[in-house]
Structures are given as C-alpha cells and as structure tokens.
Chain A
C-alpha cells in the first residue's frame, strides 16, 4: 500500500475512534464538571455497553435494539450506583474516588460472570463497504462517527438551550445560589451521573462491532479517557472533543511509522508534555 492511501486510512480511522473517545470522555468530564467526582468505574460502563450489545446481538440478533436500549439501561444502572455508593460520601471528594473504585471492582467482576474471560465479537450491523483510496472501507465506521457527532452536537444544544442544561450550568457555577433559587440540585446531580454513564455505554455499543469485546475492555480505554479529560481541561466540553480527536489522529499517524506500542507511548508522552506545560489543560471555553 502506498503512503498516501495508508495516511488517509489512518486519518479516517483516527477520526472515527476520536469521536467514540469523545463520547466516553464527555461522559466523564460532564460528571466531573458538575459533581467534581472522578468516576474510575467509567471504563467498566463502556464495557457494559459493548457486552450488552454482544448479548442482544447474539440472543435477539439485533444491534439496533441495543443501540436504543443498552445506553438507557446502563444509564439507570449508573444512576442507581451513584445514589447507593457515591452520594453518601459526596462531601469528601477523595472518598468519592475510592467509592467509584469499589464500583469498578464490582462492575468488572459482574462483567466477568456474565461474559466470561474470553474475547468475542459482534458482526457489523451495516455490511456495506465503499471504496476509499483503492481499498474498501466499511460504511459502519462512518456511521459510528456520524452517530457520535449527532449525539455530541445534541448534547451541546441540550446543555445550552434546555431548562435542564441551564440548571446544570448554574449549579456548576454556584451550587448554593442555585439551590436557593429553587433549582433541584440533588436531582440534577443524579441525572447527570446517569447521563454520563449512558454516554459511556453508547460508546461501548458503537465500538462493539469494530473491536474485540472483552470483560475488562474498560481498563485499556480508561487511560485514554483520563488523558483526554486532563489534557482537555477537566469539565471543559470543547477541550474534551478537540483533544479526543487530536489523540486518536496522532496515534493513527505515528502508527504508520512505528509499531503500535511505540505509537501509543509517543502519543501518551505528548499528552504528559502538554499537561506539564499547561496544568489546567487546554480548557477551551465552551
């Protein structure tokens, strides 16, 4: 394969995975921005999304059902987990991290019980390919990017234009004043945690047909999520999206020249360098 087709392929792949990563990272950063809780179990919710899809695709043969149902179910699960484990310790930030770590432990082993230790795959729901620089490229991947972009765009509008969104931003800026003005902060916290969980699960659903589904697939992705949210600025919407795309493109381009492990290390080091120069990350105002 020539250099140019290889480059285009990597760029398109980086674009697709960048939007999936943006979905996951937005889920985490949304929760952090509002509740100041780092959800360590976030990666496990991504795994739940993929495992749910595997289950529904195998049992009922329908990926599309999973696209609708799984994020909803995992969102409710996340909301329940928040009420049981996180909210009681919300006054101590460091304790919330530890509580979500306990959740990770539970989630991961539940995933192991349901799914078993061996990797599995989900068939492509759109079995069509289009030519791209002399190769066939699966349309489903482009569909994934489109869905992620629509959801992220919708989320942005939702936070800007709806009552709930205004409440979220108001509570984020000053909780006490928000409560004094009658904004139901406690309810908003719980719903936002659920929303963040649903976003992680949606990422898992979309990724399931193009990656290998594993019970512990959340561990590998959480490192990227963490790097994106700190480099993008914890709680920043725009920064998260930009850095997600940047990280995946950087990985894709360096994969042309180096082996995958090395290209991973290069992109990670670039992120750590950014972090050292700018402690608060890019923090693009959104």
Chain B
C-alpha cells in the first residue's frame, strides 16, 4: 500500500510541477522547457524502435523532417488551421515511414543501421536539390498561427501548454502500447528473433509495426517543433539531428520510457547551461559522455537505477524455497489406461545431405499418451529426425503423418500451429524478459496481438501462463529475468515455452544435458507429470533417465531403426549392446 501511495503522490506532484512550471521560470526558460518536451517525444520515438524492437536507427531525422515539412507546407500553401496541419504532419510521417519500413525491415543487423542512414541522407540531398519547395537551408517561415480565440502560438505559454498536452497524451499512449501484448512481442523479437519465429511470431511484421509507430511519433515531434518555431529547414532532415535522440536515449536508459525523457532533460539542459562556458569543448564532451555511458552504463540512468532497486529488493527478500515442481509430489504420472490411437506415424523417412544419408528409411509410430525415448550413438540421426518432424528440414523422401494428417514438408510455423512443439539442445529463451513474460509470449502466440490491451486484464492468458509456470515448478521465480536463472531452471523454462503453445506432441532434445544430479531429478519429475497431458518423444543420452521415463524405446543407428521395444527388452537386446559397447 505504501508503495502505491508514494507513486500516486509522486505522479500528482510531477503533474502539478509540469502545469505550474511556466509560471515559475523566465520567458526564455519557458521556451527551453517547451523544446525539451518536443525533444523528449523525439527521443521516445527513437526508443520505441531501439529499446523495444531492438532496431538501431541513425536516420530518425528523416521522419522528424518529413513531419515538419508536411505541417509547414500545408500551412503555407493551403492555409489549414493548426489542428488539421498537425494531423497532416503526422499522417505524412506515417506514410513515409511505411515506405521506408517496408524496405528496411527486410534487412538485418548492420545492414539495417546503414540503410537508415542512407535513407535519411538521400532525403536530405533531394530536399536540398528542391530548394524552390523546401527553402533549402534557409528554410521556410510562416507567420505565428492562431490556436483558437485570442490564443496564438506567438505566446510562449500557449506553446508550452499545447506541447505539454500533445506530448503527455502520446507518452501515455506509447506506454500503453509497449506494455501491451504487441509491445511484449516486440521485445521477444529484440531478445531472440529465432525463438520468436519458432513460437509463430511474424518478425518482419512486428518490426514493421514498431517502425511505423516510431516514425510517426518522430514526425509528430517534427511537426510540433515547426509549429512552435514557425519555421522548417532542410537541416531538420540532416543526419546529425538523428544522433541526438540516440544520445539522449542511451544516456537516459533504452528500453524504458522514462529513460529517453530524463536523458533529454539532462543533456539539453546541460547543453543550454554549459555551452556558454565551454562553447568549443562541449560537443567533444558529449561524444565522451556517450562512449562512457555505453561502456559503463549500458542500461542508462533509469535502467541502472531499476536494476539496482531490484537487486536490493531481492537481497532483502527471504531466499525462495527450492524450486520443487508443483507436480513432483505424487508417485509418478497417472498412467493412461492403455495407449491411445497413433498420433505420429513416420514412414520410410529419408534425409540425405549430399552423399551423407543422415536418416535412412526410419519407420515408427508413436501412440497418444506415450513417452517414447529415441536413443543411439552420436551421428545416429536423432536430431535430424527431430528437424524433419518439426519442419526445420524438408525430408528427401518418406511421409510424416500427425493425427491422421500428412504434414510432410510443411514450414516450421505451420507445424507448430498444428500442435507439435520442441525444445532444442542449446537453451533458447528470452534472456532480458522475466519468466512470466517468457511464458506469456508462448501463450499469446496463439492469440491476436492487441496493441492497446492491458496485459493484466487478459485473464484467460494470465491463468494459462500461471498454470504452465506452476507445471514446471518455476512459480517462485516468476518475476526473475530469465538470464538470471540457474542452468537447470533455464532448461525448465525452455520446456515451459514449448508447453505454452499447448502442443499435442512434445519433442524434447536432451533435456538433461549439462544438468546436475539434482536438477536432473527435477527434470525427470516434470517430464513425468507432463506425460499425463501430452505425448512426448525424448532424445536422451542418460540411460537412467531413459529407463525411468520411457514406455517405448527406439534405438537409432546409422540413420536406421536398430531396435524398438519396452525398456527392459531393449536393454537386453544383443544388437543394442553391441552398438553401445562393442564396435558396431
């Protein structure tokens, strides 16, 4: 309760301060505050793309400038009133961003960074060439506009309050969006794009939406800037302006919304007061601050404070009880009364890599409710088999039938939607997100991504998320960042991620690899419990685990099925013993 009151008090005090501020300072500082608000919006726009979607843009000046020009040109040539001009500016920036984003999201990593720079420079040179329209570096001036009645933008107070209203409203909207299911999906793409795709997310489309929101906000900031200054110049499009939001966001804290705002406030105010004293040195100082910040405080001011507070809270909290899986109390899984109908049928499956035949005519049938272990020496074709079943690789020949339907050759995300999930040998989770957020991503991957929904109000999703977390016994760690989990817990989270898509068939690839004896025990318990809910195929090297879990064992050797049967019979099979113990 304390904390909530404190937060409310701070919010009210902050709001009152923002409202009263223009009356407490000189006129010049009132204009400075107005500009800081506009720049803060610009920084937030950059952070939506960089901090949330993980895409570094050095070309945000392009959107800022397009917004400013659309507003100014519509005022000058069509004499539209400010609210309409404002909307035209936003719409123009949004359209332009769609165009750029459609090209840019197809590129990854460094190619993306470079294309953002190139686009903004091309636009700058084009605008410079079309002096008769853009005014070149002299810019375009227009008379001070009338907001309504006696209020004109010639009045610093009118400017301040107009900007305050627009920027706060957009800040709230952005906050809502980044905390929505859509915002969470952006973070998934930022943290681990490959895993997000495996969960069924369309990474290009997600990047596109983040880019469009980001560019539109930048355009609105540009429009506001033109509005309060009554002019626009080609310099707004210049690449060097793109550097400012990068700097403010990095210093303030990327991936938070308070970060870019605070960073803008600190650096713009510092520039205002320091540049009179250190006029020549100041820009050099800024470069140094950026380098120091990215080196020693990569999370920025706000991110570092949040991390510090969290570590303190954790130190204060009593040690969490050992992660005992909730299910690991009974004496084993409720045995299914006999096995169900076939769920997965594999017929004469072949996969060749050039001359090497990794899978050479495997046949096997898994029945509903079964735990099937697939074992065999290294190179037997176990992982290739998994890749074929999940559509990561197309088979050379043969058929795969899942629940009576031929799924041979379907792409991975379609097979995932049919109800087959898998874990991989190398843990692949979303490290910077909490356990809850990780699982949430899996659960919501089967729903539409609502950009304005509050996650806390989606009860159905929440219930499912809690159920899955409890199932793998990570309840005590629900709020912990995945990166901070122990290796064993990360493997459990990996399984929770696979489970969260509600698969009918779960493929586990060496779930106990690298686990301690105790962690292995926990894992066995979890797998046993899961078997009550779905069919499991497990690749495993630890024979104790295999013997304890499996209903049936398939032994692969050189891409062929060597033996198949219940654990005891398989262990006594002379051929199997020879493969494992003697030279084959």
Contact = CB atoms under 8 A, between A and B. Distances in A.
A262 B243 contact: no
A97 B110 contact: yes
Interface string B241-264: 001001000100000000000000
Given A93-B109, A105-B243, A85 B295 contact: yes
B283 A219 contact: no
Contact of A265 (B125, B239, B246, B291): B125
B547 interface: no
B125 A89 contact: no
Interface residues on A, range: 35 or more
Interface in A225-253: 226-227, 229-230, 234
Q: Which of B118, B240, B291 has the largest count of A CB atoms less than 10 A from its CB? A: B291
Contacts of B239: 219
Contact of A279 (B106, B117, B246): B106
Contacts of A268: 118, 122, 125
A281 to B, nearest CB: 9
Interface in B287-345: 287-291, 294-295, 298
A223 B121 contact: yes
A106 B115 contact: no
Q: Is the interface of B mostly helix, strand, loop or mixed?
A: helix
Contacts of A279: 106-107, 111
A101 B246 contact: yes
Contacts of B128: 261
Given A102-B288, A234-B110, A279-B111, A95 B294 contact: yes
Contact of B294 (A99, A109, A275): A99
Contact of A227 (B118, B129, B243): B118
Interface in A88-120: 88-89, 92-95, 97-99, 101-106, 108-110, 112-113
Contacts of B449: none
Given A85-B295, A106-B288, A98 B283 contact: no
B478 interface: no
A226 B129 contact: no
Q: Is the interface of A mostly helix, strand, loop or mixed?
A: helix
Contacts of B294: 89, 95, 98-99, 102
Contacts of A109: 280, 283-284, 287
Contacts of A234: 110-111
A282 interface: no
Contact of B295 (A88, A101, A108, A113): A88
B114 to A, nearest CB: 5
Q: Which of A105, A108, A264 has the largest count of B CB atoms less than 10 A from its CB? A: A105
A104 B113 CA distance: 15
A98 B287 contact: no
A95 B110 contact: no
Contacts of A106: 283-284, 287-288
Contacts of A264: 125
B110 A101 contact: no
Contact of B110 (A36, A112, A223): A36
Contact of B291 (A92, A102, A222): A102
Interface string A67-97: 0000000000000000011001100111101
B110 A38 contact: yes
Contacts of B288: 102, 106
Nearest to B296: A88
A274 to B, nearest CB: 12
Given A92-B298, A93-B109, A102 B122 contact: no
Contacts of B113: 38, 94, 97
B450 interface: no
Q: Which of A85, A94, A262 has the largest count of B CB atoms less than 10 A from its CB? A: A94
Given A89-B294, A95-B298, A101-B243, A110 B129 contact: no
Given A40-B58, A226-B117, 15 more contacts: A36-B110, A89-B294, A89-B298, A94-B113, A99-B295, A101-B58, A104-B287, A105-B283, A109-B284, A226-B114, A230-B111, A230-B114, A265-B126, A269-B122, A272-B118
Interface of B: 54, 56, 58, 103, 106-107, 109-111, 113-115, 117-118, 121-122, 125-126, 128-129, 239-240, 243, 246, 250, 280, 283-284, 286-291, 294-295, 298
15 contacts: A38-B113, A40-B58, A89-B294, A89-B295, A97-B58, A103-B287, A104-B287, A106-B287, A223-B117, A226-B117, A230-B114, A259-B129, A261-B126, A265-B126, A272-B122
